[in-house]
Amino acid sequence: MANIRQVTSKVDSLTPSDRAVSGLETAASAMGQKATATAIAAGHIQQSYNEIGRNVGQGISQAGQAVVKHITDTQTLKALQLSAEATANAAQDWNATVAADAQSDVHDPNLAADWKKEKLGPALDAIGQTLGTQEGQQWWATHRVAIEQHFNDTTTADVSTLAGQQ
């Protein structure tokens, strides 16, 4: 005959069905705690991924800004050189236009405007086309206005002086 041992429960008030319910409650509670811990850990992992994503995004943005600044600085330096050359060439061309032996009519009210439109404008337009960044274009707009103002003053003064001499 089999040797079956009888075990007595330390809690006498539990019946076999109560023991099963109690065990299930304990297991469910443990599973709930583990699920909560897993959810908290997943939240921390998600926060870490979000922070990593923000950091990577900021790094890319900063690198992009540095590249744009470098391009702008390089192009602006070249445009500055070109504008100095264009200004010198335009001054020589204007002086040749109003020279005593030139065929220009200094009494023509459109002489300076036509010269700026036909000679100065295209030279300045060509310089502006060498700038590929928004910052470079903004710089050029300001610098171009200064050059145009210089030639407005110069051409007006020269035409007035020459018209008064004749």
Residues 54 and 60: their CA atoms lie apart, in Å, by 10
Q: Which residue has the tokens 């504008």?
A: 83
d(CA 149, CA 157): 12
On average, the pLDDT of the chain sits at 87
Distance of CA 113 to the CA centre of its chain: 38
pLDDT digits (tens, 9 = 90+) for 106-136: 788 899 999 999 999 999 999 999 999 999 9
Of 158, 154, 136, nearest in space to 146 by CA: 154
pLDDT tens column, 43-94 = 888 888 889 989 999 999 999 999 999 999 999 999 999 999 999 999 999 9
